[in-house]
Amino acid sequence: MKLKTDIFEQFDRKWGLLTAGEKDQFNTMTISWGGLGTLWNKPVATVYVRTSRYTHEFMDAQDYFTISFYPDEVKPILGVLGSKSGREMDKVNRSGLTPKEVEHSVTFEEASLTLVCKKLFRQELDVKNMTPEIADSFYSGDAPHDMYIGEVVDILEK
């Protein structure tokens, strides 16, 4: 598996979609926090999902998830998928993106890059262990993030 991309720019500036579920029932949301690396001798991806997100339910229920990245012209759609909840509306259908089945999970036809991940680990980011600055900036009143680490089992690149 080879990845030819600036992963910092992908997450922070271009954003991505985190998707979990099966093709007939899944949810997706925009993410800009995440990373890639090596853990337990495996290539891994890490994402951070607030427990209040609808996607969180799918992340807990499923063994696989995908992280997908898009050409610049799709960014306005990512803005919508990152501000509306799948709990309140059928945001995927309205977005115009085309769901695409991959092994054990879902991505979208429009993606230029998809990481297919097998869930290995989940843990709440404990506010007690954060510096006061981070705790105050991100968690005063807001739901905590759970960290999910998945083995990258496939990379689909256009």
Ligand X SMILES: Cc1cc2nc3c(=O)[nH]c(=O)nc-3n(C[C@H](O)[C@H](O)[C@H](O)COP(=O)(O)O)c2cc1C
Closer of 30 and 152 to ligand X (Cβ): 30
Q: Which long-range contacts (CB under 8 A, 24 or more apart) does 78-81 make?
A: 78/15, 78/16, 78/17, 78/30, 79/30, 81/17, 81/28, 81/29, 81/30
122 counts as binding ligand X under rule CB under 6 A? no
Segment (H or E) for 67 = strand 64-69
- Residue 118 beta carbon to ligand X: minimum distance, rounded to whole angstroms: 20
Total binding residues toward ligand X, as defined by CB under 6 A:
20
What would the x/- binding string for ligand X be over residues 10 to 29, using CB under 6 A?
-----x-----------x-x
Q: Quick check: 70 binds ligand X (CB under 6 A)?
A: no
How far apart are alpha carbons 104 and 22 in whole angstroms? 7
**Cα atoms in the Cβ-side hemisphere of radius 13 Å centred on 100:** 16
Q: Residues 34 to 63: which contact ligand X by CB under 6 A?
A: 48-50, 53-55
CB of residue 41 vs ligand X: minimum separation in angstroms? Answer: 26
- Which among 121, 155, 156, 119 has a CA at the least distance from the CA of 20? 119
Q: Is 153 left (phi over 0), alpha (psi -120 to 50) or beta?
A: alpha
Q: Which residue is nearest to ligand X (CB)?
A: 82
**What's the closest the beta carbon of residue 83 comes to ligand X, in angstroms?**
5
Q: Is 82 in the site for ligand X (CB under 6 A)?
A: yes
Smallest separation (angstroms) from ligand X to the CB of 67:
10
Residues of this chain that bind ligand X (CB under 6 A):
15, 27, 29-33, 48-50, 53-55, 79, 82-87
